[in-house]
Amino acid sequence: MGKKISCTGIKPTGTPHIGNYFGAIKPALELTEDYDARYFIADYHALNSIKDPVEIKNSTYEVAATWLACGLDPAKALIYRQSSVQATFELSTLLMAFTPKGLMNRAHAYKAITADNLENNRDADDGVNMGLFTYPILMAADILQFDSDVVPVGKDQAQHLEMTVDIAQNINYNYKKELIKIPQALIRDSVATIPGLDGRKMSKSYNNYIPMFMESNKLRKLIMKIITNSQTVEEPKDPDTCNIFSLFKLFATKTEIATLRNKYLAGGMGWGSAKKELFEVMDRTLSPLRIRYNEIISDKSYIDKILDEGSLKAQEIASQKMNFLRKEIGLG
């Protein structure tokens, strides 16, 4: 029996942030010891929102360099460009025939846009392209082409993963056999939703994110911008509803967490000093990664080589699966 398969992707829509790291990258890297890992840069997903070729290309390098700086070993784990694997798009077309339109209507991301449009007196589908509307189908193809067992993602992707399972089940049910493996989302409770500067989910779409590799000085300034309530220095504060504390817990040791918790509860600590403590643990963890990242991002030909090799292997695996499926469904 081969190893189980782990699969996940990140869109090249800007610099990866702390939410991406704890929600997806770190858990995904931890799986690379025991699983066959297939991680990709979701550039066709990014195309739905980014139409500038230079931007998408640069961001692809940034995402790839992030994976590598955080410890992805290309000898052990696949890392590739989604757009280089043609079979994914054929599988996506196949999956369309098994995806009720109503399922897409219910996707959270799509529903959020239509709700916002209606609230602002625009047509419900204003600014929605078909790539965005059918996004969960392409995502299902990304995952199902490898017969993936687990998909490490943040909580925001839970519903899309359920859709992947629905679509796969529709296929297996129709052909009365398991043509496609049913995958499982891997969502860790402790890092399911990392908060951003304003307390909402950290996201590039909300512009409330902390980039992973910001230089120390800029990082300090950004942390000082975290939005807090108007409690005075003297007042005791609740660590469990504070986004500074939530972020601190991700980077600090158990003892440091207990100490800061006590300072919150005791009162006499202002938000400024809580932010300073957050900056210190964050910078301590991110500095060595930043050094590696800067080295890697300055060597684009190295990144291209890794991505080309990964893409070739991914294409080989995915096209085998596609050949198998074509025959099974009567097309080959």
Point out which residues pair with 152 in neighbouring strands. 186
Q: Which is nearer to ligand ADP, 250 or 325 (CB)?
A: 250
Closest of 169, 85, 92 to residue 134, by C-alpha: 92
Is 91 in a helix, a strand, or coil? helix
- What ranges make up the beta strands (E) of the chain? 4-10, 35-41, 78-81, 150-152, 184-186
Q: Are 39 and 28 in contact (CB under 8 A)?
A: yes
At closest approach, how far in Å is the CB of 159 from ligand ADP?
11
Q: Which is nearer to ligand ADP, 141 or 325 (CB)?
A: 141
For 78, 167, 327, the CA distances from 162, given in Å and listed in that order, are: 24, 9, 27
> How many C-beta atoms lie closer than 10 Å to residue 74's C-beta?
16
Q: Which is nearer to ligand ADP, 142 or 147 (CB)?
A: 142
**CB nearest ligand ADP: which residue?**
23
At closest approach, how far in Å is the CB of 266 from ligand ADP?
30
If one asks whether residue 6 binds ligand ADP (CB under 6 A), the answer comes out as: no
Count of chain residues binding ligand ADP (CB under 6 A): 19
Alpha-carbon torsion 51, 57, 59, 63, what sign? Answer: positive
If one asks whether residue 304 binds ligand ADP (CB under 6 A), the answer comes out as: no
The binder of ligand ADP chosen from 7, 65, 185, 202 (CB under 6 A)? 202
Q: Which two tokens stand for residue 14?
A: 């800007």
If one asks whether residue 205 binds ligand ADP (CB under 6 A), the answer comes out as: yes
Q: Which is nearer to ligand ADP, 159 or 231 (CB)?
A: 159
At closest approach, how far in Å is the CB of 149 from ligand ADP?
16
Which residues contact ligand ADP (rule: CB under 6 A)?
Answer: 10-11, 13, 19-20, 23-24, 153-154, 156-157, 191, 193-194, 201-205
